[in-house]
Amino acid sequence: MVRIILIRHGETTWNIEGRYQGQEDTPLSPRGLEQGQLLAQGLKNVPLDVW
């Protein structure tokens, strides 16, 4: 059985400013960095295969 986990990016500084983004690589906000850390903690015991 295949399980697919979809993950979006964390909050960026442009999200806070209400700016449109798409092709720019904008920095994560402090909250976005925290979201990334929480995601890593939540997935640390999940076996992941990359094809």
- pLDDT digit of tens for each residue in the chain (51 aa)? 888 899 988 999 999 998 888 788 899 999 999 999 999 999 999 988 876
Q: What b-and-e string marks burial along 13-51, b requiring 16 or more CB atoms within 10 Å of the CB?
A: eebeeeeeeeeeeeebbeebeebeeeeeeeeeeeeeeee
Task: Note whether 10 and 30 are within 8 A (CB).
Answer: no
| pLDDT attached to residue 51 | 65
| pLDDT attached to residue 25 | 87
| pLDDT attached to residue 27 | 93
| pLDDT attached to residue 49 | 85
| pLDDT attached to residue 35 | 97
